[in-house]
Structure 1
Amino acid sequence: MNKSALAIILGGGQGSRLAPLTESRSKPAVPIAGKYRLVDIPISNCINSDIKRMFVLTQFNSASLNQHIKNTYHFSHFSTAFVDILAAEQTPDNPTWFQGTADAVRQCMQHFMNHEFDYALILSGDQLYQMNFNEMITAHEKSGAAISIATLPVSSKEAPEFGILKTNDESFITSFIEKPKAALLPEWTSEVSDEMKSEGRHYLASMGIYIFNRDLLVELMSNPDTKDFGKEIIPQAIGKHKVLSYQYEGYWTDIGNIDSFFEANLELTEDIPKFNLFDNSKRIYTRARTLPPTKISGKTTIEKTIMAEGCIINAAQINHSVIGIRSRIGTNSVITNSYLMGNDFYQNLEEISTNQSQHIINIGIGERCQINNTIVDKNCRIGNDVKLNGGKHLEDVNTKWYTVRDGIIVVKKGVVLPDGFSVG
């Protein structure tokens, strides 16, 4: 186990841009790829890098995240490995909640300092990527840096959404600008690989992944006026300390809004996805459930689809979709370009029969439904002949049953949609 590094995973704020998926859960607890949670990504990257001492800092809607981590990450009694949750807590010294990413770390410093470590690895809980952190730590050590920032080449279209930086010949950061306007971009190009140049990715963006030397972190956290890493700590450190740019060219996406979340999930259905769930050396870990295999009855046509375990499928067609755990889809239903998150439990046969006799809608997708460009959150009850057709023709709207964002319909967790319900 890498004993030089301690991982600190930031649980994020309210996650309003990912609403309604974050109405009852924090961003890191949002289900992804049908069976994982977003927080599984940074934790798995740490485990694969042999970094097995992790703190997850949470504040908003943390019950679901706490339960997932408690039920998932168990290490040997003889190991010093752990994944501990630190929820925002009011104390005599800290009467306020977390005010930003740096403030969250500051308020939890007493817990970190109970452990020996040379480097603090600070990660976001809502990004999708596969990275060997040991390579970044090695580069940090060799350069003699006090801080290292993982950076990603991006295009001129993407650059205004990020913190953009410039480096010298030794990859030390010389200047930094937060979310530059398009007119300023020509001054902020960087030297990148030929492959990145061919893709038009000439700007180095901060990925929000940092390494801090222990002593410097202690020093920086002693200033209560700085609240955020990206907006204050990093810009103020450049010129005062050696800040290294660790350039990463693999797949990485920030799950910042419904559109990016939807795209990241459906991209997993490609023949060779950029985010590879099938790589033995980069496994993604999650809760081990004792579920039966998925059962497909009838003449179901399935193309470009990821399907989790425990599903009961009677659909006519499923195409370019992600089907989550314990999903139930009725006969003659058609699912396209959609993400069904699945269910947390099964109904028994007696309950299903009683509901049918009393015209109560059961959990899952009913018969003859047409679902397209839609996210269906967990434990929804969707009746027969329901039509959900997302697309750019729909205006953004928020109702008690569903939300439309960027043309994507998001059916809210636990909602009941009656027979014949239609959107789009």
Structure 2
Amino acid sequence: MSRANVVGIVQAGGKGSRMGVLTESRAKPALPFGGNYQLIDFPLSNLHHSGIDEVWLCVQYEAHSLLEQVAGGRPWELDRTRGGLRFVLPQETSAADTEDGFATGNADLLYRVRDTIRARGAEAVIVMSADHVYTLDFDDVLATHRDADAECTIVTTRCSREEAAAHATVTARRDGTVTGFAYKPERPTTSVVAAEILVYRPDVLITALEELASETEPQAESGSDTGLGDFGEHLVPWFVARGRTVAHAMSGYWIDAGRPETYMQAHRDLISGDVGIDDPHWPILTRQPQRSAARITDGAVVADSLVSSGAHVMGTVRRSVIGPGVIVERGAVVSDSIVFADTEIRAGSSVAWAIVDERVVVGAGARVGGRPRTRPVPTEKITILGMGARVTKNATVPLGADVAPGRLVR
């Protein structure tokens, strides 16, 4: 199979409501990661290094935030006349009550762009989510797909049984043929899960989408909804039942960073060196504004942390990620937290187990978050400050609070 006749479809259209105030004004894949990156950088970098140079980015919610980050595909050499990066908007369905054609799940989104897929006539389409952290050579996945003459190939990984309940579990025979698929099971029977990276034969995919939509659309709650939902609800079970779906087990690190608790865990893994995204032969490419080097003032303490360019640390930072241009003043303490770009943590304040969005001001002597007792730390125990929020001098933001963008906390 020629990589020149393969299309990568990156699904970046959802609202990302699980991330709460962090996605009120940005698409979830535009969230920063590790100070220097955005989540969207991971699928685009993996596609680039795998030689897939035709990429469709499906955008919908707060699309402007992604358009700015991807810069026309330039960091991944996708700014070209033929192939390259293409922005795909969902099509309206034929339902009489359709209002805006916005998709209600990733399978529903594929249905809405099925005519675009049909017209392209590729040999294979690789469909992936845009909010996962991993490295993967898609050439290996395509080889598995080709050698098995599969209609669908599911990339799998392993996680804890507890985490598996938030994903789709997969069982397969020794030859790779998938025999069992359970979407978000209450009691998972395996720790093998779908990594939300799938290769489809386009003609069979279109048949599946149209056949399933004819069954699910009459039961949909609104006229603009096909009822297809996410890939695990109807689409992949349809493929598995046909007996020509195979699993491709990926090695290395993978995490769905789409919930505050997993987003926080991914950063803690990055700090500990478990993520493995620093391979010079497989770098994560990104668009970043040019800033001066970080400054660590005499008397500052920085331990087990990452400090981005343009930051100025005069206080104490432990087990945290400090974004570009962040200022941590003398006497301030940031621990077990993620701080986005251009935020100010003023003198004598403390920030613990928090995700602090960009351009936030934490006033002198303020207290944000605290130290949760539960491990792993659940979402409800992580304090989140939205973009541009202001915490006044000596104010307190309790453990697990969500502060809306722009809000003043006294």
Residues 130 and 275 in structure 1, CA contact (< 8 A), matched pair in contact too: no
1:420 to 387, 394, 403: 394
Quote how far apart the aligned CAs of 1:161 are.
2.5
3-state SS of 1:149 partner: strand
2:146 is the alignment partner of 1:167 = no
2:157 is the alignment partner of 1:157 = no
Supply the distance in 2 between the matched residues of 1:139 and 1:269 (Cα, whole angstroms).
33
Quote how far apart the aligned CAs of 1:82 are.
1.8
Q: Could you tell which deviates more after superposition, 410-419 or 168-177?
A: 168-177
Cα deviation digits, residues 109-142 of structure 1 (max 9, x gap): 3334453521100000111111111101011111
Supply the distance in 1 between the matched residues of 2:141 and 2:108 (Cα, whole angstroms).
24
Residues 39 and 125 in structure 1, CA contact (< 8 A), matched pair in contact too: yes
2:383 is the alignment partner of 1:409 = yes
Figure out how many residues of one structure are paired with residues of the other and give that number.
376
Cα deviation digits, residues 262-320 of structure 1 (max 9, x gap): 111122111xx2212321122111114221111222311211111111112222x2111
Question: Which residue does the alignment assign to 2:372?
Answer: 392
Quote how far apart the aligned CAs of 1:103 are.
1.7
Quote how far apart the aligned CAs of 1:242 are.
0.5
Cα deviation digits, residues 172-205 of structure 1 (max 9, x gap): 01222222333xx5xx4xxxxxxxxxxxxx5321
Question: Which residue does the alignment assign to 1:219?
Answer: 207
Supply the distance in 2 between the matched residues of 1:227 and 1:393 (Cα, whole angstroms).
36
Question: Which residue does the alignment assign to 1:195?
Answer: none
Question: Which residue does the alignment assign to 2:325?
Answer: 326
Quote how far apart the aligned CAs of 1:78 are.
6.0
Supply the distance in 1 between the matched residues of 2:372 and 2:80 (Cα, whole angstroms).
55
Residues 320 and 337 in structure 2, CA contact (< 8 A), matched pair in contact too: yes
CA, structure 1 residues 71+4, in 2 after alignment: closer, same or farther (shift >3 Å)?
A: closer
Supply the distance in 1 between the matched residues of 2:277 and 2:112 (Cα, whole angstroms).
35
Quote how far apart the aligned CAs of 1:154 are.
3.5
Question: Which residue does the alignment assign to 1:341?
Answer: 340
3-state SS of 2:109 partner: helix
Matches within 5 A, 1:2-401: 2-70=3-71, 73=74, 75=77, 80-88=82-90, 90=92, 95=99, 96-182=101-187, 185=188, 188=189, 202-223=190-211, 224=213, 225=216, 226-270=228-272, 273-315=273-315, 317-343=316-342, 364-392=344-372
Residues 33 and 267 in structure 2, CA contact (< 8 A), matched pair in contact too: yes
Supply the distance in 1 between the matched residues of 2:293 and 2:73 (Cα, whole angstroms).
20
Flag structure 2 segments of 5+ consecutive residues without an equivalent. 217-227, 399-410
Supply the distance in 1 between the matched residues of 2:245 and 2:109 (Cα, whole angstroms).
22
Cα deviation digits, residues 66-90 of structure 1 (max 9, x gap): 2212365363776634222223454
Supply the distance in 2 between the matched residues of 1:89 and 1:139 (Cα, whole angstroms).
32
Residues 392 and 406 in structure 1, CA contact (< 8 A), matched pair in contact too: no
CA, structure 1 residues 288+113, in 2 after alignment: closer, same or farther (shift >3 Å)?
A: farther
Residue type of the alignment partner of 2:279: D
Quote how far apart the aligned CAs of 1:107 are.
1.4
3-state SS of 2:23 partner: coil
Cα deviation digits, residues 40-89 of structure 1 (max 9, x gap): 11111111111121111122222211221236536377663422222345
Supply the distance in 1 between the matched residues of 2:90 and 2:395 (Cα, whole angstroms).
41
Quote how far apart the aligned CAs of 1:221 are.
3.0
Residue type of the alignment partner of 1:46: L
When normalised by structure 2's length, the TM-score is 0.85
Residue type of the alignment partner of 1:177: A
Residues 93 and 112 in structure 2, CA contact (< 8 A), matched pair in contact too: no
Cα deviation digits, residues 356-377 of structure 1 (max 9, x gap): xxxxxxx512112211111110
Supply the distance in 1 between the matched residues of 2:93 and 2:161 (Cα, whole angstroms).
45
3-state SS of 1:391 partner: coil
Quote how far apart the aligned CAs of 1:232 are.
0.4
Residues 387 and 422 in structure 1, CA contact (< 8 A), matched pair in contact too: yes
CA, structure 1 residues 310+117, in 2 after alignment: closer, same or farther (shift >3 Å)?
A: same
Quote how far apart the aligned CAs of 1:5 are.
1.5
Residue type of the alignment partner of 1:418: T
Cα deviation digits, residues 188-239 of structure 1 (max 9, x gap): 4xxxxxxxxxxxxx53211111000122123223333444321101111223
3-state SS of 1:7 partner: strand
When normalised by structure 1's length, the TM-score is 0.82
Residue type of the alignment partner of 2:140: E
Supply the distance in 1 between the matched residues of 2:149 and 2:12 (Cα, whole angstroms).
29
